Amino acid sequence: MEETEALSAARGMRRTMLGDAYVNGATADPDPVAVEFQDYLTATAWGVWARGGALSPRDRSLLVLAMTAALGRMEEFRIHAESAPRAGVSDAEVDELLFQIAAYAGVPAGSAARRTVTAVRRER
């Protein structure tokens, strides 16, 4: 993928939010399809974060946590729970979000998210 200003901004946002160690690991596969796939993920998902607009990184972080929990994507939820403090999300805000998740996405989603948050905090 051609390195555009938008892709460069998306790469920067991904590193800021997830950290160098995570991004380096995710992008280490030299297979051309893997490289293209990572560029696609970065341009689409992290391009949304880098675009600016009315939502702050904190707002985007809370939304991604809610959506990944609602979809049952606990691996992605975990990644974003680990990075939420970098976006300015407090533990108290995540705790409150868990109630929203359970109420609107169902108790199983809320319970799984709570277990994940507990594990992330223990590992901190």
What residues of the chain score a pLDDT lower than 70? 1
**Residue from 29, 72, 68, 71 nearest 45 by CA:** 68
**pTM for the predicted model, two decimal places:** 0.92
State the pLDDT at residue 1. 65
Query: Given this model, what pLDDT does residue 2 score?
Result: 74
Q: Determine the pLDDT at residue 75.
A: 97
φ and ψ of 85, to 5 deg? -60, -30
How do residues 77-91 score in pLDDT, each as one tens digit?
Answer: 999 999 999 999 999
Domain ranges of the chain: 1-52, 55-124
